Amino acid sequence: MAVIAEQLSKVLGLPVRQLEPLLALAAEVKLPKGDFFTRPGERADRFAIVLEGLVRHYYVDARGKESVKAFRGPLEVSGPYAELISGRPSRTFIQALAPARLLCLQWEVLQRAADASPELSKMLRRFAEAQFVNKEQREYEFLQLTAEERYLQFCRERKEHLGHVPLHQIASYIGITPVALSRIRARLARKR
């Protein structure tokens, strides 16, 4: 546990002594492959840090189409962040793609802690800002890159997931169908 605190301290840019009282309130959740951390309709009240394994965030629209918003591995944050912020009921699935261990905390607990600690409050602000920058990067990719370029970008940025995530979910993440991704991969293989 002390090891975790130290790693988190680095990732979050927060001193260990600020982290410890929070970790004491956190619960470890084991998620077998295929199980869900959150589902739409549930009240969104917890978020988590992935200790081990891999989860994906996705939603399903009225036509039944799945869209993957994110993959999150060890030491990354998972949870229905937008819904936690806005207080709206969750519309996102969070599912384990590999057996996962999550360290999870009530959102409310974190909010109260932030009211008492300027450092924690600042950390939450930096976190929100970092999430924003992430999404803006994604907007950039949809506006300016072709599907093939988005795929190559994914391979570069998230190569640690390449063997572990089924291709049709990568296709969904970059906004195309599995068939189209297959075609792109064939084209790339031919060229190189």
Partner DNA sequence: CACCGTTCTTAACCCTGTTTAAGGCGCCGG
Partner DNA sequence: CCGGCGCCTTAAACAGGGTTAAGAACGGTG
CB of 81 to a second copy, least distance (A): 7
Whole-angstrom Cα distance, residue 25 to residue 17?
14
Other beta carbons less than 10 A from residue 24's beta carbon? 8
Residues 6+ apart with CB under 8 A from 47: 77, 78, 79, 80, 81, 84, 104, 105, 107, 110
The count of residues interacting with DNA (CB under 7 A) is: 18
Q: Which of 87, 146, 157, 160 binds DNA (CB under 7 A)?
A: 146
Question: What is the contact mask toward a second copy in residues 166 to 185, using x (rule: CB under 8 A)?
Answer: ------x--x----------
The item of a second copy, DNA, none sharing an interface with residue 37, based on CB under 5 to 8 Å by kind, is none
Does 188 bind DNA (CB under 7 A)? Our answer is: no
Given the complex with a second copy, which of 28 and 149 has the nearer CB atom?
149
Instruction: Give residues with Cβ within 8 angstroms of 192, minimum separation 6.
Output: none
Q: What distance in Å separates the CA atoms of residue 153 and residue 15, rounded to the nearest whole number? A: 33
Six token digits for residue 22: 């929070």
Residue number, 4 or 180, with CB nearest to DNA: 180
* Residue 105, strand partner residues: 47
Buried b / exposed e across 51-77, counting CB within 10 Å, b at 16+? Answer: bebbbbbbeeeeeeeeebbbbbbeeeb
Q: Does 166 bind DNA (CB under 7 A)?
A: yes
Q: Given candidates 11, 60, 85, 186, which one binds DNA under the rule CB under 7 A?
A: 186
Which residues here bind a second copy, judged by CB under 8 A? Answer: 59, 61, 65, 67, 69, 81-82, 85-86, 118, 121-122, 124-125, 128-133, 135-136, 138-140, 142-144, 172, 175
Residues contributing to the site for DNA (CB under 7 A): 146-148, 166-168, 175-186
